[in-house]
Amino acid sequence: MAIIDSKLEFSDAQVISCASGSEAISEHVFQMNAVKNAWGTAITGNYGEGNNGLMVNVRIATVLNASARLKAKLYTHTTASVLSGTCIADSGWFAGSAAAGTKKAFRLPTGTMQKYVGLGYSVSGSSMTTGAVDAWLGLGHQTPSS
């Protein structure tokens, strides 16, 4: 279900199976490239800068459990275990029974990010057993072709 490039996918129909109050990590965590300033000094990248910064797109692939809610949180960290890092943005809650195709998008925030970026899927209400999501980085609010 790659939109621009499969390397920009966090999740591709990833089944979120976890208890209420728990969090599952996305299938893929991105290692952002090292960035240097004009003098060759390493700096932390600001991937959300500019008027057309990157967007995180999250779409329900299969209907969520009726009494469970889901939120996608964007984390950044110095290691690939991003869930122990800093949450820098989120999608807001998808309601229980959210239909396949329901979509939310949010812009990468401006400011510096650490080397690794990934999504954590938080579950609230009851345990999630059947819901699946697609998530990817894109240039705007994109509608996947499937």
We report the CATH number of the domain holding residue 77 as: 2.60.120.1110
77-135: pLDDT as tens digits = 988 889 999 999 999 999 888 889 999 999 888 776 788 889 999 999 888 888 899 99
On the question of pLDDT at 48 being above 90, the answer is: no
Confidence of residue 3 (pLDDT cuts 50, 70, 90): very low
Asked whether residue 146 is assigned to any structural domain, the reply reads no
Domain count, the chain: 1
Q: Which domain holds residue 55?
A: 6-138
On the question of pLDDT at 57 being above 70, the answer is: yes
Specify the higher pLDDT residue, 46 or 87: 87
- Single pTM value for the model: 0.82
Asked whether residue 143 is assigned to any structural domain, the reply reads no
Instruction: Determine the pLDDT at residue 49.
Output: 58
Q: Which of 15, 24, 21, 46 is nearest to 133 (CA)?
A: 15
On the question of pLDDT at 145 being above 60, the answer is: no
Specify the higher pLDDT residue, 120 or 44: 120
Q: 93: Cβ–Cβ under 8 A, 6 or more apart, which residues?
A: 69, 70, 71, 124
Tokens of 132: 């699946």
Residue type, 63: V
Asked whether residue 35 is assigned to any structural domain, the reply reads yes
Confidence of residue 46 (pLDDT cuts 50, 70, 90): low
Dist. CA 55–CA 109, nearest whole Å: 9
Asked whether residue 144 is assigned to any structural domain, the reply reads no
